[in-house]
Structure formats: structure tokens, C-alpha cells
Amino acid sequence: MLTSITDGILCCLRGKTGSSVVLPVESSACTDGFEFVEVKPGRVLRVRHIIPERPPKLDQEQNQDQNYEHNQGKDQEKEKEKEKELRAEDGGSTVHCKRKITVYRNGQLVIENLGDVLHSEILQCQNGDVEPCTTLEVELADYSSVAAAVTPDPKPAPLPPPASSGNGLAAAAQQKPAPPPRRKKRKPKRTVLIDSERKISSCKGTEADVALFFVHGVGGSMDIWGSQLDFFSRLGYEVIAPDLAGHGASTAPQIAAAYTFYALAEDLRAIFKRYARKRNILIGHSYGVSFCTFLAHEYPEQVHKVVMINGGGPTALEPSLCSIFQLPSCVLHCLSPCLAWSFLKAGFARQGAKEKQLLKAGNAFNVSPFVLRAMMSGQYWPEGDEVYHAELTVPILLVHGMYDKFVPMDEDQRMAEILLFAFLKIIEEGSHMVMMECPETVNTLLHEFFLWEPDTSKKVTAVLKPITANQTTDMHAPKASRPLNK
């Protein structure tokens, strides 16, 4: 503690921010499976890339771009072709994604789902009961219209005076209630139509056209995915996990513009284009969820599924002006022990020796103050609003730790309402770093989602579900930027 304060004072006097290179821990030494990729001149990212050993025969069978071997019998080929045709006729894994998104000038959002409704039993409720994970049909109705239907008119129209019996027809005409005033038809500010078919299939580790991408958040590194990388690589999956700029063993440029959302997103775009297969699954944590959303939006044909772990709500990113991370880097350097302790307390459900060892082994929150300040200040992404997320047609698994103090549960619940194909799972014993606290639970949950394939044999007509007045008030509160304490 005293050493860090002394170093911070020296940094202020010298006008420097301390060491600009984040050294890797011993477990992150460059061995087999680690690569250094230059995404831009002088901008090098460390990437852990594990390619499982597969028999040559398996590779040839699983690669859809190659033809069958000539030594296979013609009868077997005909049988496989018949199976594919039958599967295509039955619908198989082809889902019709049809959605209409309307944005009005008052900020109101109306989502109409008109395509297929999925049925799945992949997830379970907290009480252990099976939860049918159907597509959520959400309509954010106009609050004024809902309130008018619930609340009586404070100024009712006066009743007409009683007429004499001599004016029979005239009195009857006068007693007819006046027609309600016509409401002006609102003009939408923006309308987005989605009409496409998406093929969703089971992704097995033995299939050569499947790759898993793991993206960490602020202050993390690829090492926070250690349990997941080992688990899925043993199952035969090809896994890719990069260190963001300034994190882990990647280079740390001493310019704040290198850590904006757009700069980091372009880095991950380069990594994705380098290692992507035909079917790719993106797994993001915290701030890394935004980059996974960006890639899924940019490459809808290549991104097969997405996992969002404690990512927050579908709101545009905007840095907070009143944040501790706006302090000078030298001050943050002095406060680094306090910040690390705060992250341990808020990021883990328990603060025992095991959690401290996980934090140290995962190389989490081990970045320079300059990088930390630039990362938090660079979280500006106005395009990533509700409409941006509602346009996604990829199946998404939402994982939330019950004791997460960084991301409230209602944010992930709102994300599940906005997304088209969303499955929300809450892990009761986990917090923000749930993949490190509960690795077995997270690995099992992710693997089930990878193997999940929609059952389109049961199709239900999509019905819009209007929400109540109280819910409308909550959903139409002024947009708040996503919390930056990630």
C-alpha cells in the first residue's frame, strides 16, 4: 500500500503514469497455443488458439466444403441425402425470423414478432422446474393510452338535460353520447423490418467448422476463461481467446484513442476474420458482451450463437462524467489497492482465500491506471441501443450471477425482452465473475446451449402481449447509459 502511494507521487512529479507494459503472469507464458497477432502496425494482441487433434477422417466428414470420399458406398450417400431432404422438409433447424420494430418520436418502441415461435427445454427456472423458452413477444404500448384505459377521466362530460315527452325522436337523438374524439395517428420516426430465415443447428466439438471466441471485459484477460478454455478444448472445440489492448500480454499503447470502443472493436474484427470458421459462437463477459453484439450484427451469417455473461441492458454506451475513473492516472495508481479490494468485494459472491487466488490466477484487474482510465472513458457506442439489439436474429444465452453488484438483474431481464431468441439463466451462487466462481455450472450450461437445436415441429401463432401501465412506466423511463463499473 505504501509502495503504491510512493510510486503514485513519483508519477505525478515526473508526469508519467508508471509502467506502460502489462506483464503477463507466469501461467500466461508463451507456450504452445499462444500466438501474437499484429492487428495494426505496432498493435499486437496475444491470442490463445487451441486446435484440437482430430482424425483426418473426421475432418473430411465434418467439413461441408469437401466432398465425400470415393471409397464410401453410393448407397450410404443416397441414404444421407434422403435424410437431409427429409430434415429440410420437416423444417429441421430453419427458423423464420420476421420482426417489425417501430420507433416513435417520443422514444417509444413497439416490437412485433411475426415469425416462428421457438420451443425449448434447455434452461431451468431457479426452483428446478422446466421453463419453456419461447420467443418473447413484447409490445411497449403508449403509456398515455394505457393510463387512459385504466384511469377514469377527471372531467367527465356533463349529461344532457332531460327533454320533454313531446319531442320523442329529438330527445332520443340528444341523449345519444357524443362520439369519442379521434386520436391523431402517430407517425413513426423509424421502422425496421426483419424478414429472413436462419439455420440453427447443434454445434459439436468434433465438427471442424465450429469455433468458439471468448472476449473478456475491462481489467480482465484471457486467463479468466481458463476453466472454459480447458473444458471445451478437451471436448474437441477450437477455441480462440484474445487479450484486449493493454490487457494481459498484449501491447499497451500510450494514447487514449487506442482504447475507445471502436478501436477495440476493430481489433476484434481482425481477430474474428483471421480465425472464423463457418459456424462461430461468441462468448462475452461484461464489456466484452458489447463487442460480441457488434460482431454478431456485422457478421450475421457467420455468427451462429452468442453467450452474454453479466452484460447488462440493451442501452447505448456512454461514459459517466462523475466517476472515480475520471481522476488522473497518478491518483488511480495510488488508489489501485483500494480498487482491487473493491473489485474483489463486488465481483465475487464471497471474499475468501479461494476468491483471492482466483483473482490472482485469472490476472483480473491487473492493468495500468492509464489503460483503466482510457477504457472507462472510451465506452462510447451510441449505435448500440434497443433497436440495434432487437435486430439480432441469432440465438442468445444470457447468464447472470445472482449476487452481481455491477450489473442489476433487471438489466439482463430487459435484454431478454428486447432480443428475438433469448434464454435467461440465473446462477444463484455466482456474482459478476461467475465463470470463475462456478466453472462447472457455467461450462455445463454453455455446452447444453451449444448442442441445442430448435424444435420447429411445434409452431404457435405469434401473439403480441401488451404490458401493464406500471410496466410501461418502467420501460419508458429516460434512457440511462449502461453502468461503466465493469
Mean pLDDT per 10-residue segment, the chain (486 residues): 38 38 36 85 95 66 48 53 46 78 88 72 39 40 36 43 48 57 71 91 94 95 94 96 95 94 97 97 97 97 97 90 61 59 67 69 71 91 95 96 93 94 94 94 97 72 36 36 45
Catalytic residue chosen out of the listed positions 120, 286, 290, 368: 286
Residues in contact with 485: Cβ distance below 8 Å, sequence separation at least 6, in sequence order = 346, 406
Closest CA to 308 of 401, 204, 439, 206: 401
pLDDT confidence of residue 373: 86
Helix axes 336-347, 353-361, angle to 10 degrees: 110
Cα 479 from Cα 411, distance rounded (Å):
12
> Taking the model in full, what pTM does it have?
0.72
Catalytic residue chosen out of the listed positions 116, 223, 243, 404: 404
pLDDT confidence of residue 187: 80
Neighbours of 18 (CB within 10 A): 18
pLDDT confidence of residue 337: 59
Residues in contact with 244: Cβ distance below 8 Å, sequence separation at least 6, in sequence order = 45, 215, 216, 250, 264, 267
Cα 387 from Cα 102, distance rounded (Å):
9
Active site annotation includes 404: yes
Active site annotation includes 285: no
Active site annotation includes 432: yes
Cα 294 from Cα 45, distance rounded (Å):
19
Cell of 94: 430453419
Cα 2 to chain centroid distance, Å, stands at 40
Cα 39 from Cα 42, distance rounded (Å):
8
Name residue, grid cell 470463475: 436
